Structure 1
């Protein structure tokens, strides 16, 4: 069994660049930086930055190009893909990229910059955006997440075989 799955949380390092494939499908690429904090042998706290190339296709590419800016905090779920090509000098070049399947946008900044805010009082709910997202036909965008339109209604005249949801202890 094999698994190629990546979860990465970081800040966008360069403004997303949008292109179109010959088929007309959108493709967006951008850089993402992550930090690793550790303590070395001498007890000194250190930090290493790692830079990743991220690619998104289709509707997800359009969303990335529209909502991500340099400095934006973003959570990416995807897979690794290594491309290779022949350079002009004749040497073979390789590039490993994260192909995004889902993204979760970080909190919006109210100061007009893309830097992430850590104040919980000003952060908004973070939407999850999937690569193959399309609204359901009867989906109402004004419906709150906490609303449950299909909740069972309580019935005082229950038959003996039926279970009353309000009597379940959890």
Structure 2
């Protein structure tokens, strides 16, 4: 089984592009900073994961996600290994996104000096696998 669940903040706004062909598909790429639970002196405080979303998830990311948004992402890990021009093997991984969910309320994100774009109403999000956190929830979700 190949399944990963990450919670972190976007390090930049999603980059959008569309596939070629008759039925073009939206593709969103973004990076997620995930805090490390246990930190050793001299080690980084967070890990950074490159994520790619397709179709409806990509359109959702383009419309609602901005740098600093705290998100819960589930998907699968995919190797992106290649050999560079110097003949050295380069190892990297990519998170292929299946689901995106907000991990904090609008109030909590504004307390962190982040002003998100308007979020979808529950009727807009139903059936797409997206969770909309209602206004007025000030505490963190129990995903820590």
TM-score normalised by L of structure 2: 0.66
Q: How does 1:99-118 map to 2 (within 5 A)?
A: 99-106=96-103, 107-108=105-106, 109-110=109-110, 113-114=113-114
Give 1:47 deviation, angstroms. Answer: 7.0
Give 1:115 deviation, angstroms. Answer: 6.8
Whether contact under 8 Å (1:38, 1:47) holds in the other structure is no
Match of 1:15 in 2: 13
**Cα separation, partners in 2 of 1:89 and 1:80, compared to 1, 3 Å:** same
Q: Does 1:133 align with 2:131?
A: no
Give 1:81 deviation, angstroms. Answer: 0.6
Whether contact under 8 Å (1:105, 1:126) holds in the other structure is no
Per-residue CA deviations over 1:28-66 (Å, capped at 9, x if unaligned) read: 0100011123376xxx8x872111111100111010111
Q: Which has the larger radius of gyration?
A: 1
For structure 1, the residue ranges without an aligned partner over 5 or more in a row are: 117-124, 135-170
Match of 1:160 in 2: none
Q: Which of 79, 82, 91 is the equivalent residue of 2:79?
A: 82
Per-residue CA deviations over 1:148-170 (Å, capped at 9, x if unaligned) read: xxxxxxxxxxxxxxxxxxxxxxx
Q: How many residues align?
A: 118
Match of 1:30 in 2: 30
* Partner secondary structure for residue 55 of structure 1: strand
Measure the CA separation in 1 of the matches of 2:18 and 2:33.
25
Measure the CA separation in 1 of the matches of 2:122 and 2:73.
13
Report the structure, 1 or 2, having the larger helix content: 2
RMSD over aligned Cα atoms: 3.4
TM-score normalised by L of structure 1: 0.57
Match of 2:137 in 1: none
